[in-house]
C-alpha cells in the first residue's frame, strides 16, 4: 500500500467516488436507522403515552418467555420453508416448460408474470373470495367430486392457502430469473448428452441443474428474505389466524409496534428478525460451495 | 418536479442527515400546555386534522366549516388541513406520525382505541374549552355517548359519530319464504332474537342464500357480537375492565345461542362463508344504520330496531371520536377550533353523515333531512331510540392485545362440536393477565 | 417469427459476454430457428417418424399443462378488469361472475372525478422514472467499482452495502420517518425518490450490476485503456454500453418496485395532490369508509394494464437482459 503509485491512488479515488453514493446512502438510510432500532430496543417506548424509558436488555429477556413469539417463530419456519420450496419448484417447472419453445410461449410467459404487476390488494381480495368455504375453489373441487376444506379456517390449510396465494403472486419473477439462467445453458452440452443416450431427466439433473445452481442460490436468498416480509397478504386472508397459526414474525412485530404500541419490544423483535435474516443468508452463502456448480 | 413542495409549516431542515440523527433518538416531549382560551400566537398557525374518510362531500363540508373559522379568527389560524389516511392503515400511519414527533393537531379516533388514547395522556382535556365556549350548550350532549371518552371529570375526545346498530331485512326474501315481517313483530312486541333466528333459518332454507349476517364479524372481529350478547346483558369483562366475564352465565347462554344458531339451525353463515346483505346474499343483517347508503333498488328492504334478548332490548352504538393531541404544536388553538367545529350549528350540518351526540338534534325530522334513504319514522325508531342508554362495543385500554387474544381463543368455538363453556373458560384464563396489566 | 430474433441475439450476446460458454459453432443460430419455429416440419433429421409424432403429442400435452397452470394466474386479473365494469352488488356476489351482466364504464369516469387521479398518475410515473434512472446510475457505478477497481476497503464497503438487502422495510420505517421529519421533508416526494435510490432498495441493483461486471471479459476495457481512456472513460464508453442488458433488468425491477410502493407513501404523504397510485387506490371509498369496489378496481386496472402492456412488448429484452446479467453466476 505504501508503495502505491500516484496512478494507482488516482484509481482508488475513482473507486471511492463511484461507490460513494450507495455507501453514504447505506450509512444514512440503512445503518443509521438500524442503529436507532437497536437503541429503541433498549427502551420501553409507548408512543401514545409518550414514555421512553431505558430498560437495558429487558425487551430481549422478555422474548425468552413470550409464548406468542415462540408460536410466531414456529409459524415463520413453516411459512418460509413452504414458500421457498413451493416457489422455487414451481418457478423452475414453469421456466423449464417455457424454455421448450412451445407454441404460445410469449402469451404464457405474460400470464405467469402478470400477477407481479397486479396490485397486492386486488390480488389478495379476489383470492380471499375464492378461498371461502363456498367459494370458487371449492366449487371447482365439488365438480370434480371432492369435498374441499374450509381453507382459511383450519390451521394447516390456512397456512397452505397463504403460501399458495403468495407463490402465485410472485413466482413470475423467479420464473423469469430461471428462464434467463436456462437460456444461458449451452444447447451443445444438452445435445452432446443426448447423443450419449442420456434421458431428459438425467440431462436436467446432471447438466442443467448444476449450471443454473448459482441462480437457484440467488433466488432462494431473495425468496427467503422476501418471505420474512410478507405482511399484507396475511392481514387480509387470515388476520394471523386461526388461533395463531399464521402469525409469522413480521406480522407479530407489526402487531407489537402499531397495534399494541410497544415500540421498544417491537424494535427488539426487529433486531431478532434482522439477525435471523443475516444468519440464514450467511448459511446459504457458506453452503454454496457444496452445491453451487461454479463460482463467481 | 413541481410536486416537490416542502411543507409550508416547517422550514426545510438544513442540518445534514448524520448531524440531526443524534438528536432524533431523544423523544419529543409532549408539552402539557394548559388549555383554555387560546393565547393569540405570534403569527396565525396552520392546523392539521387526520381523518379516515376520503369522501369528497364530507371533506368539502369540513373544509367549509374550517374556512368559516379561519375567517372569524384570522389572528389565530391561517388554515386548517384535513389529511386523509386510508382506513386500513389509519392507526399505523397515525402511530408513525406520533413516534416520529409529527403529531397532528387533531385526529379522528377509533372507538376501540378510545380507552387506550384516553388513559395514555396523549389527548388534551376538552371539557373546559367546550364548557367555556359561548353557546356551545355542553349539557345538550348525551351523557351515555360521552362515557367511553371520559376519564374522571375530563372529556378527552368528542364522539362526533354515534351510529346505532339495527337490523336490515330483505323483505322480498322473507316474504318468499312465507315468514312474518319483522316490522309486524316489532309492532306486536314479539321481535326477539329467537324470532329473528327462526325467520333467518327458514328464509335461508327457502332462498338457498344466507339468513342473518352480523356484519363485519366474519368470525374474526368478535367485538361485533356485542350487538347480540347485549340482549343477554352479557359483557366480555367487568365495567372497570379488571375481571373477565366470559364465563358468566349470561355470556355462556348468549354464546351457546349463537353457536347453535350457526351450527344447528343454519340461521347464520358458517365460518369461512361471507355473504353481503347489500348484494342480496342474505335475508337480514345487523349493522349500523349509516350503511343504508349501500342499498340500491335491487330488492325491497326495511330496517327494524335490535331484537329483544332474554334480558330485554339493549341498544348498541358504534362511535368515532375526535381529539386534540397534547404533543401537537398548538393544542389550545386546536381545542378552540374543535369547539367551533362541533358547536350546535355545525353539529347539525355534520349530522348529514354522523348522528351527533346532541339531544336537541336527535329527532326523526332533523335526521331525515340528512338521510334520504330512510323515513322520519324509521329514523325515530332506530336512531333516536337507539341512542338512548346505548352501550358501545367492548373497549379497554389494553384492547388491541385483548382483541387479538380473544380472537385466537374463540377460533376454537367456531366448530360444530365446540364445548362452549370450555372455550370461554380458556378465553378467560388467556385474557386475565392482560386485564390486570 | 420473433423467436428468430431471439435466437440471434442470444448467440450474439453470448459470444460477447460468454464467459466459459463454448464457442458458437457456425450455423448454431440457424439451428435455433428450426428448433424454435415450426414444430413439426423441421424436426431434427436423426429422429424417426414415430418419435416425431410422439414428440408432437408431448408438446401439445405440455401446452395443455401450461394452459391449465395459467388459470390461477390469470383469473384474478381477469376478475379485476371485468369487475370494474360491474355494479357494486354484482362484484360482491359470492360466486363471481365471469363476465358482467350489464357492463358499464361509469366507474372509469368516477375514477377521475373523485380524486386528482391524473395528477396522482403523474406523481407515480415521474417518481418511478427518477428512481429508475437514479438507481441505474448509482448501481452501475457502484457495481463497476466493486467488480473492477481494487481499492482498500472495497470488500468491507461491499458487505456494508449488502446489509441493505437484509432489512425488511417494516423494521426501519419508524427511524426513517424520524429522519425525514427532522429534515422537514414530510409530504414531499423526496423520501420516495432519494431513499430508494441510495438506500436499501438499491442494493439488489448494485449486486446485479457487480455480478454482471465480474462476468464481463476485461479485454475490451484493456483495449480502451491502451487507447488512452481513463477509468471514467472506460466506464462510460465501454462498460456502460456493454451492460445495457443488465441495466434493462435493473430498470424493470426498480420501476416495478417504485410503482407498487405502498407503506412508504402512506406514511410520508398527506395531501391528495401528492399521493401516488397504490395509495390513491385506497381512497375510493363511500361516505362510511366502505370501498367503492367498482371504482377502485377501475383505477387498479388503469394502473396495471399499461405496465402489463410494457412487459408484453419488452419481455424478450427483459429475459435476455437477465440471462446475461451475470445473475447466472
What are the residue boundaries of the structural domains of chain A, listed by start? 67-291
β-sheet bridge partners, residue B317? B164, B392
Question: How would DSSP label each residue in A154-179?
Answer: SHHHHHHHHHHHHHHHHHHHHHHHHH
- Asked whether residue B306 is domain-assigned, the answer is yes
CA B181 from centre of chain: 29
A255 touches chain B (CB under 8 A): yes
Helix boundaries (H) for B230-329: 249-263
Co-location of B356 and B421 in the same domain: no
CATH at B283: 3.40.190.10
- The per-residue pLDDT for C109 is 87
CATH annotation of A67-291: 1.10.3720.10
Return the residue matching grid coordinates 333459518.
Answer: B201
Return the residue matching grid coordinates 349530522.
Answer: B351
- The per-residue pLDDT for B245 is 95
Cross-chain CB nearest to A111 (options C74, C320, C328):
C74
Which residues form the domain of C121? 113-323
- Asked whether residue C199 is domain-assigned, the answer is yes
Neighbour tally for C48: CB within 10 Å: 8
Contacts with C, B 341-370, CB within 8 Å: 353
pLDDT over 70 (residue A255): yes
- Asked whether residue B12 is domain-assigned, the answer is no
Confidence of residue A287 (pLDDT cuts 50, 70, 90): confident
Q: C49-83 and A67-98 helices cross at what angle (nearest 10)?
A: 130
Residues B68, B78 contacting (CB under 8 angstroms): no
Grid coordinates standing for A277?
Answer: 435474516
- Asked whether residue C42 is domain-assigned, the answer is no
Residue with the larger pLDDT of the pair A21 and B381: A21
- The per-residue pLDDT for C127 is 96
Co-location of B366 and B258 in the same domain: no
C172 touches chain B (CB under 8 A): no
Co-location of B418 and B272 in the same domain: yes
Residue with the larger pLDDT of the pair C211 and B267: B267
C146 touches chain A (CB under 8 A): yes
- Asked whether residue B154 is domain-assigned, the answer is yes
All residues at 6 or more sequence positions from A230 whose CB lies less than 8 Å from its CB, including other chains: A79, A83, A162, A166, A248, A250
Grid coordinates standing for A29?
Answer: 438510510
Share of chain A above pLDDT 70, in %: 95
- Asked whether residue B357 is domain-assigned, the answer is yes
**Residues of B within an 8 Å Cβ radius of A:** 17-18, 21, 24-25, 27-30, 91-92, 95-96, 98-99, 116-117, 120-122, 219-220, 270-274, 327, 400-401, 404, 407-408, 411-412, 414
Co-location of B67 and B158 in the same domain: yes
Co-location of C172 and C291 in the same domain: yes
Query: Considering only CA atoms, which of B371, B366, B316, B338 is closest in space to residue B145?
Result: B316
Nearest CA in chain B to A155: B411
- Asked whether residue B119 is domain-assigned, the answer is yes
Co-location of C127 and C11 in the same domain: no
Co-location of C122 and C206 in the same domain: yes
pLDDT over 70 (residue A291): no
Confidence of residue A187 (pLDDT cuts 50, 70, 90): confident
Run of H or E residues at B170: strand B158-170
Q: What are phi and psi of A147, to 5 degrees?
A: -85, 105
C149 touches chain A (CB under 8 A): yes
Share of chain C above pLDDT 70, in %: 78
Last residue of one domain, picked from the residues B371, B391, B411: B391
Return the residue matching grid coordinates 373477565.
Answer: B244
Which residues form the domain of B310? 165-315+394-436
All residues at 6 or more sequence positions from C41 whose CB lies less than 8 Å from its CB, including other chains: none
Query: Considering only CA atoms, which of B210, B206, B203, B182 is closest in space to residue B306?
Result: B182
Confidence of residue A205 (pLDDT cuts 50, 70, 90): confident
C5 touches chain A (CB under 8 A): no
Co-location of B131 and B96 in the same domain: yes
Co-location of C32 and C176 in the same domain: no
Co-location of C129 and C268 in the same domain: yes
Residues A180, C322 contacting (CB under 8 angstroms): yes
What whole-number distance in Å separates Cα of residue A214 and Cα of residue A280? 17
Condensed to tens digits (0 to 9), the pLDDT of residues B39-65 reads 778 889 999 999 988 778 888 999 999
Residues C151, A12 contacting (CB under 8 angstroms): yes
Question: How would DSSP label each residue in C132-176?
Answer: HHHHHHHHHHHHHHHHH---TTHHHHHHHHHGGGG--HHHHHHHH
What whole-number distance in Å separates Cα of residue A5 and Cα of residue C170? 46
* DSSP-assigned letter for residue B51: E
A96 touches chain C (CB under 8 A): no
Condensed to tens digits (0 to 9), the pLDDT of residues A50-64 reads 788 999 999 999 999
Q: What are phi and psi of B47, to 5 degrees?
A: -105, 150
Neighbour tally for B8: CB within 10 Å: 10
Question: Among the ranges B85-94, B362-371, B377-386, C136-145, which has the highest mean pLDDT value?
Answer: C136-145
- The per-residue pLDDT for C321 is 63
Cross-chain CB nearest to C62 (options A16, A102, A106):
A102
C285 touches chain A (CB under 8 A): no
Residues B237, B243 contacting (CB under 8 angstroms): yes
Average pLDDT of the residues in C16-32: 35
- The per-residue pLDDT for B55 is 78
Neighbour tally for B242: CB within 10 Å: 12
Condensed to tens digits (0 to 9), the pLDDT of residues A144-186 reads 888 888 888 888 999 999 999 999 998 988 898 888 888 878 8
Residues B268, B262 contacting (CB under 8 angstroms): yes
- The per-residue pLDDT for B19 is 34
Co-location of C119 and C29 in the same domain: no
CATH at C193: 1.10.3720.10
pLDDT over 70 (residue C14): no
- CB contacts, 8 Å: C303 with chain A: 119
Co-location of B310 and B336 in the same domain: no
- The per-residue pLDDT for B354 is 85
Question: Among the ranges A209-213, B103-107, B142-146, B268-272, which has the highest mean pLDDT value?
Answer: B103-107
Residue with the larger pLDDT of the pair C99 and C274: C274
Cα angle B370, B375, B381; round to 5: 105
Question: In this complex, do A274 and C80 lie within 8 Å of one another by their Cβ atoms?
Answer: no
* Number of independent structural domains in chain B: 2
Neighbour tally for A275: CB within 10 Å: 11
Co-location of B427 and B371 in the same domain: no
Which of A8-12, A285-289, C153-157 shows the lowest per-residue confidence on average (mean pLDDT)? A285-289
- The per-residue pLDDT for C324 is 59
Confidence of residue B154 (pLDDT cuts 50, 70, 90): very high
Co-location of B257 and B151 in the same domain: no
Smallest CA–CA distance, residue C319 to chain A, in Å, is: 5
Co-location of C23 and C156 in the same domain: no
What whole-number distance in Å separates Cα of residue B242 and Cα of residue B262? 31
Condensed to tens digits (0 to 9), the pLDDT of residues A225-248 reads 778 777 777 877 887 878 888 899
Confidence of residue C92 (pLDDT cuts 50, 70, 90): low
Which ipTM value was assigned to this complex?
0.80
Average pLDDT of the residues in B259-266: 95
Question: In this complex, do A273 and C79 lie within 8 Å of one another by their Cβ atoms?
Answer: no
* Number of independent structural domains in chain C: 2
Share of chain B above pLDDT 70, in %: 90
All residues at 6 or more sequence positions from B399 whose CB lies less than 8 Å from its CB, including other chains: B112, B113, B115, B116
CA C122 from centre of chain: 19
Grid coordinates standing for C197?
Answer: 435510490
Amino acid at each position: 500500500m505504501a508503495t502505491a503509485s500516484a496512478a494507482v491512488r488516482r484509481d482508488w479515488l475513482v473507486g471511492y467516488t463511484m461507490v460513494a453514493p450507495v455507501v453514504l446512502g447505506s450509512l444514512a438510510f440503512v445503518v443509521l436507522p438500524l442503529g436507532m432500532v437497536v437503541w429503541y430496543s433498549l427502551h420501553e417506548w409507548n408512543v401514545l403515552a409518550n414514555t421512553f424509558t431505558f430498560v437495558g436488555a429487558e425487551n430481549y429477556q422478555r422474548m425468552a418467555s413470550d409464548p406468542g413469539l415462540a408460536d410466531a417463530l414456529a409459524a415463520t419456519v413453516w411459512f418460509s420453508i413452504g414458500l421457498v420450496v413451493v416457489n422455487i419448484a414451481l418457478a423452475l417447472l414453469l421456466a423449464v416448460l417455457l424454455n421448450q419453445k412451445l407454441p404460445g410461449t410469449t402469451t404464457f410467459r405474460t400470464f405467469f408474470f402478470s400477477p407481479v404487476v397486479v396490485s397486492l390488494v386486488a390480488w389478495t381480495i379476489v383470492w380471499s373470495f375464492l378461498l371461502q368455504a363456498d367459494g370458487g375453489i371449492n366449487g371447482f373441487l365439488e365438480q370434480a367430486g371432492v369435498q374441499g376444506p374450509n381453507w382459511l379456517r383450519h390451521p394447516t390449510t390456512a397456512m397452505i392457502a397463504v403460501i399458495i396465494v403468495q407463490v402465485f403472486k410472485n413466482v413470475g419473477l423467479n420464473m423469469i430469473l430461471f428462464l434467463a439462467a436456462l437460456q444461458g445453458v449451452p444447447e451443445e452440452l444438452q445435445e452432446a448428452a443426448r447423443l450419449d443416450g442420456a434421458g431428459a431427466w438425467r440431462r436436467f439433473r446432471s447438466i442443467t441443474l448444476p449450471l443454473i445452481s448459482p441462480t437457484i442460490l440467488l433466488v432462494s436468498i431473495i425468496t427467503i428474505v422476501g418471505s420474512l416480509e410478507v405482511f399484507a397478504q396475511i392481514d387480509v386472508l387470515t388476520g394471523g389466524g386461526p388461533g395463531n397459526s399464521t402469525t409469522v414474525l413480521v406480522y407479530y412485530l407489526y402487531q407489537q409496534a402499531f397495534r399494541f404500541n410497544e415500540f421498544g419490544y417491537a424494535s427488539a423483535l426487529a433486531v431478532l428478525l434482522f439477525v435471523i435474516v443475516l444468519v440464514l443468508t450467511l448459511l446459504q452463502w457458506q453452503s454454496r460451495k457444496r452445491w453451487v456448480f461454479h463460482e463467481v | 418536479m413541481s410536486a416537490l413542495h416542502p411543507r409550508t409549516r416547517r422550514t426545510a431542515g438544513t442540518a445534514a442527515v448524520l448531524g440531526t440523527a443524534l438528536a432524533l433518538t431523544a423523544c419529543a416531549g409532549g408539552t402539557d400546555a394548559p388549555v383554555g382560551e387560546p393565547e393569540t400566537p405570534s403569527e396565525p398557525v396552520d392546523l392539521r386534522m387526520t381523518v379516515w374518510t376520503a369522501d369528497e362531500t364530507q371533506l368539502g363540508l369540513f373544509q367549509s366549516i374550517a374556512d368559516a373559522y379561519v375567517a372569524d379568527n384570522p389572528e389565530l389560524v391561517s388554515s386548517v388541513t384535513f389529511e386523509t389516511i386510508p382506513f386500513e392503515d389509519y392507526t399505523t400511519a397515525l402511530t408513525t406520525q406520533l413516534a416520529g414527533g409529527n403529531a397532528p393537531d387533531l385526529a379522528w379516533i377509533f372507538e376501540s382505541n378510545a380507552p387506550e388514547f384516553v388513559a395514555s395522556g396523549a389527548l388534551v382535556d376538552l371539557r373546559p374549552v367546550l364548557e367555556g365556549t359561548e353557546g356551545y350548550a355542553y349539557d345538550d350532549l348525551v351523557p351515555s355517548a360521552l362515557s367511553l371518552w371520559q376519564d374522571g371529570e375530563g372529556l378527552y375526545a368528542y364522539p362526533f359519530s354515534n351510529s346505532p346498530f339495527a337490523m336490515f331485512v330483505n323483505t322480498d326474501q322473507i316474504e318468499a319464504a312465507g315468514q312474518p315481517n319483522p316490522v309486524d313483530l316489532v309492532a306486536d312486541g314479539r321481535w326477539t332474537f329467537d324470532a329473528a333466528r327462526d325467520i333467518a333459518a327458514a328464509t335461508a332454507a327457502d332462498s338457498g342464500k344466507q339468513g342473518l349476517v352480523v356484519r363485519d364479524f366474519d368470525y374474526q372481529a368478535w367485538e361485533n357480537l356485542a350487538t347480540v350478547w347485549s340482549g343477554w346483558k352479557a359483557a366480555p369483562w367487568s365495567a372497570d375492565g379488571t375481571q373477565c366475564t366470559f364465563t358468566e352465565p349470561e355470556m355462556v347462554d348468549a354464546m351457546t345461542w349463537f353457536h347453535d344458531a350457526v351450527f344447528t339451525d343454519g340461521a347464520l353463515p358458517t365460518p369461512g362463508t361471507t355473504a353481503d346483505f347489500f348484494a342480496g346474499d342474505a335475508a337480514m343483517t345487523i349493522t349500523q344504520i349509516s350503511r343504508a347508503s349501500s342499498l340500491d333498488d335491487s330488492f325491497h328492504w326495511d330496517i327494524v330496531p335490535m331484537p329483544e334478548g332474554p334480558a330485554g332490548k339493549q341498544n348498541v352504538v358504534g362511535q368515532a371520536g375526535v381529539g386534540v393531541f397534547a404533543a401537537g404544536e398548538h393544542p389550545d388553538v386546536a381545542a378552540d377550533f374543535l369547539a367551533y367545529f362541533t358547536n350546535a350549528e355545525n353539529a347539525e350540518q355534520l349530522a348529514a353523515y354522523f348522528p351527533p351526540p346532541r339531544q336537541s338534534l336527535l329527532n326523526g325530522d332533523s335526521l331525515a333531512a340528512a338521510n334520504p334513504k330512510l323515513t322520519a319514522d324509521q329514523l325515530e325508531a332506530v336512531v333516536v331510540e337507539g341512542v338512548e342508554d346505548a352501550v358501545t362495543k367492548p373497549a379497554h385500554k389494553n384492547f388491541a392485545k385483548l382483541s387479538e387474544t380473544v380472537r385466537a381463543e374463540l377460533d376454537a368455538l367456531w366448530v360444530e362440536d365446540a364445548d362452549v363453556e370450555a372455550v370461554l373458560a380458556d378465553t378467560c384464563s388467556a385474557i386475565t393477565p392482560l386485564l390486570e396489566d | 417469427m420473433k423467436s428468430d430474433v431471439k435466437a440471434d441475439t442470444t448467440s450474439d450476446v453470448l459470444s460477447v459476454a460468454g464467459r466459459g460458454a463454448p464457442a458458437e459453432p457456425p450455423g448454431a443460430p440457424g439451428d435455433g430457428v428450426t428448433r424454435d419455429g415450426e414444430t413439426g416440419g423441421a424436426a431434427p433429421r436423426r429422429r424417426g417418424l414415430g418419435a416425431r409424432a410422439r414428440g408432437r403429442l408431448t408438446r401439445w400435452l405440455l401446452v395443455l399443462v401450461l394452459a391449465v397452470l395459467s388459470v390461477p394466474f390469470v383469473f384474478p386479473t381477469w376478475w379485476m378488469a371485468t369487475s370494474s365494469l360491474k355494479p357494486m352488488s354484482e362484484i360482491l356476489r359470492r360466486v363471481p361472475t365471469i363476465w358482467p351482466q350489464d357492463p358499464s364504464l361509469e366507474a372509469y369516469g368516477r375514477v377521475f372525478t373523485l380524486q386528482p387521479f391524473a395528477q396522482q398518475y403523474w406523481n407515480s410515473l415521474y417518481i418511478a422514472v427518477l428512481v429508475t434512472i437514479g438507481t441505474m446510475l448509482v448501481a452501475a457505478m457502484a457495481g463497476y467499482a466493486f467488480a473492477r477497481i481494487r481499492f482498500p476497503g472495497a470488500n468491507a464497503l461491499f458487505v456494508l452495502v449488502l446489509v441493505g438487502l437484509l432489512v425488511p422495510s417494516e423494521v426501519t420505517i419508524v427511524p426513517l420517518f424520524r429522519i425525514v421529519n427532522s429534515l422537514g421533508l414530510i409530504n414531499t416526494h423526496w423520501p420516495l425518490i432519494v431513499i430508494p435510490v441510495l438506500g436499501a432498495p438499491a442494493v439488489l441493483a448494485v449486486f446485479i450490476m457487480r455480478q454482471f461486471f465480474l462476468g464481463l471479459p476485461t479485454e475490451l476495457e484493456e483495449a480502451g485503456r491502451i487507447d488512452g481512456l481513463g477509468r471514467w472513460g472506460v466506464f462510460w464508453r465501454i462498460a456502460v454500453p456493454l451492460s445495457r442488458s443488465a441495466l434493462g433488468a435493473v430498470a424493470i425491477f426498480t420501476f416495478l418496485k417504485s410503482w407498487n410502493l405502498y407503506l412508504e407513501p402512506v406514511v410520508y404523504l398527506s395531501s391528495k395532490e401528492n399521493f401516488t397510485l397504490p395509495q390513491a387506490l385506497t381512497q375510493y371509498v363511500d361516505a362510511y369508509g366502505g370501498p367503492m369496489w367498482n371504482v377502485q378496481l377501475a383505477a387498479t386496472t388503469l394502473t396495471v394494464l399499461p405496465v402489463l402492456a410494457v412487459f408484453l412488448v419488452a419481455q424478450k429484452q427483459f429475459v435476455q437482459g437477465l440471462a446475461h446479467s451475470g445473475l447466472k453466476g
